[in-house]
Amino acid sequence: MKAIKISTYGESGVLKFTDSAPMPKPGPGRALVKIHAAGVNFVDIYQRRGTYPVNLPFIPGLEASGQVEEIGENVTLVRPGDRVAYTGHLGSYSEYTVIESERLIPLPDNMSFEEGAAFPLQGITAHYLIHEFRRPKPADTVLIHAAAGGVGRLLVQWAKHLGAMVIGTVSTEEKAQAAKEAGADHVILYTKQDFATETKRITSGRGADLVLDGVGKSTFHGDMDSVAIRGHIVVYGASSGPADPVSPNALMPKSISLSGGSSANFIATREDLLRRAKDVLDALGAGWLKLRIDRVLPLEEAAQAHLV
């Protein structure tokens, strides 16, 4: 079986192609999926670097789409030939994987495998971030960091769909254009402007009702300044490193609510997984939510996808 393996932590060069990985077999309750496309996400980079340690050696990748090829005993949720997608299961940089059948999402016939590999992790992440902490409503202001990224663009679209004013932060003019195309009302280049100052200026001093932060260390201090009285900050990533510690008492002057997000905790049951996936797929089908697939590479060139 063809696969990408990581035997030591490091930069993209540690992604090694092999065509002799052992072929997995499905046990009870599991399905063998032939992978047609695998998604690439920041969490893959964190695991490759050892920021989020994984037992070595391992096959990276946490989401994919494909077809069920074989099922184990007691599997009733899927059958061979079914088109499926999944997220949260390590090993998608390969030709095949074995996964618990209850973690498989039915893939609509009108959706390509590339789209099927692009929506689960980012779409479900955007769904829980928008719905579980402080659901935006008209007249709310939502500050979204990394607004041109995969999750960021979906968050912008979803917040706008709910009627909120969206402020996005980005690092370059090119990314600013992408955030505007996604629907952001205001875009701040944090490399040239202080985003906290700009957020307060845009909101006439009020601040943002909801701050969604997948960046972490370089943005969290500014989040505390940017958020409105009784506002909510959600930290769900650490692309610049983990955010610095904060004293609970620091939340008191503005009665700030602070949460940490992890998608695994919001799709822990099949009911939650399918509910969130359905909402994302319905939004994509309705056309107001759009995916952006930057490029498609063969498995052998997986290292190229990690050059960011």
Number of domains in the chain: 2
Residues 100 and 155 in one domain: no
Asked, for residue 58, whether it belongs to a domain, the answer is: yes
Residues 8 and 108 in one domain: yes
Whole-number pLDDT of residue 42: 87
Q: How many CB atoms sit inside 10 A of residue 301's CB?
A: 12
Asked, for residue 271, whether it belongs to a domain, the answer is: no
Residues 132 and 252 in one domain: yes
Residues 258 and 137 in one domain: yes
Q: Domain containing 151: what range?
A: 123-264
Residues 257, 134: Cα–Cα separation, whole Å = 10
Tens-binned pLDDT, residue by residue, of the chain (308 aa): 999 999 999 999 999 999 999 999 999 999 999 999 999 998 999 899 998 899 999 999 999 999 999 999 999 999 999 999 999 999 999 999 999 999 999 999 999 999 999 999 999 999 999 999 999 999 999 999 999 999 999 999 999 999 999 999 999 999 999 999 999 999 999 999 999 999 999 999 999 999 999 999 999 999 999 999 999 999 998 888 889 999 999 999 999 999 999 999 999 999 999 999 999 999 999 999 999 998 999 999 999 999 86
Residues 2, 123: Cα–Cα separation, whole Å = 28
Residues 128 and 232 in one domain: yes
Asked, for residue 156, whether it belongs to a domain, the answer is: yes
Residues 72, 30: Cα–Cα separation, whole Å = 5
Task: Give the E-state strand segments of the chain in sequence order.
Answer: 3-5, 16-18, 30-38, 63-71, 83-87, 96-100, 105-106, 141-144, 165-170, 186-189, 208-213, 227-235, 257-260
**pTM of this prediction?**
0.94
Residues 84, 82: Cα–Cα separation, whole Å = 6
Asked, for residue 274, whether it belongs to a domain, the answer is: no
Q: Are 56 and 40 in contact (CB under 8 A)?
A: no
Asked, for residue 282, whether it belongs to a domain, the answer is: no
Residues 110 and 162 in one domain: no
Domain containing 217 — which CATH number?
3.40.50.720
Asked, for residue 33, whether it belongs to a domain, the answer is: yes
Domain containing 42 — which CATH number?
3.90.180.10
Distances (CA, A) of 195 to 169, 191, 207, 220: 7, 9, 11, 11
Count CA within 13 A, CB hemisphere, residue 303: 12
Residues 93 and 144 in one domain: no
Cis peptide before 80 (omega within 30 of 0): no
Residues 141 and 255 in one domain: yes
Asked, for residue 180, whether it belongs to a domain, the answer is: yes
Asked, for residue 91, whether it belongs to a domain, the answer is: yes
Residue 171 has which token pair?
Answer: 């690092």
Query: Could you tell me which of 136, 117, 111 has the C-alpha nearest to residue 284?
Result: 111
